[in-house]
Copies of this chain bind each other. A is one copy, B any other.
Amino acid sequence: MTPDEVRTQATGPTAGLAPGYAQANLIAVPEDWALDVLLFAQRNPRPCPVLDVTDTGSPRTVLAPGADLRTAIPRYRVWRDGELVDEPTDVTRYWREDLVAFLIGCSFTFETALARAGVPLRHVEQGRNVSMYRTDRQCRPARRLHGPLVVSMRLVPAELVAPATAISARMPAVHGAPVHVGDPSALGVADLARPDFGDPVEGEPGDVPMFWACGVTPQAALVASRPPFAITHAPGYMLVTDVPDSEYELAGG
């Protein structure tokens, strides 16, 4: 599938779709909360690397110039006062002229490079959404926004932990190196089989859990901080952009 085909036809999670193209998280808030979100992102660059910010009211992004942000994502979440009120597949009727939308890097973007290096992607193989967890680490607050770090988790054969770390480390704009490898309890995650977002994924003997900062972190901040209104993607249902993954890869050092 091309990025445009994913944007117009996909109905499920987007991991593994349109390989080679960067994917992005969405959070749109009223303009009077935009500084809070942008500052929260600046202070928490691991979970919230900003790839683009729209002009107020505009559903257009430079990351996918032909796309309409109100329809290009397979599933959205609509939030009022920090409560999830709807999970539609189109947010045209919820869009407001005062919304500012933030597109934030997504770890699905380095999965093509992981696969190329022989790292199995268990969630893609099993046709499931990636597992995501709320951690016990707090983000650095910004104005009215605060909340915990959210991580995505991948089960990686022990001998591939080092290359998976090195490959992702070269892509800081899509979360970069893992924040933790090995012990879920070090992040306050009690049970890998019960993710807070996405699906449980089964590992194989010798697999090690690797945890990356996740662009669902702003959604946990919405719950904690209760702004009056927001629109986000649904976790794992991303905006597929027209930007090649390689755009976010650091040049050889």
Q: Which residues of chain A have a CB within 8 Å of any CB of chain B? A: 31, 34-35, 38-39, 42-43, 50, 53, 55-56, 143, 169-170, 250-253
Chain B residues within an 8 Å CB radius of A56? 143
A113 to chain B, nearest CB (A): 13
A68 to chain B, nearest CB (A): 21
A248 to chain B, nearest CB (A): 13
Chain B residues within an 8 Å CB radius of A43? 53
A116 to chain B, nearest CB (A): 17
Give the residue of B39, B251, B253 whose beta carbon is less than 8 angstroms from that of A53: B39
Interchain CA distance A172-B35 in the complex, whole Å = 24
A176 to chain B, nearest CB (A): 10
Chain B residues within an 8 Å CB radius of A143? 55-56
Interchain CA distance A177-B194 in the complex, whole Å = 45
Chain B residues within an 8 Å CB radius of A252? 253
Chain B residues within an 8 Å CB radius of A169? 251
8 contacts between A and B (CB under 8 A): A31-B35, A34-B35, A38-B39, A38-B42, A39-B53, A250-B250, A251-B253, A253-B253
Give the residue of B31, B50, B170 whose beta carbon is less than 8 angstroms from that of A42: B50
A156 to chain B, nearest CB (A): 20
A205 to chain B, nearest CB (A): 32
Interchain CA distance A143-B35 in the complex, whole Å = 13
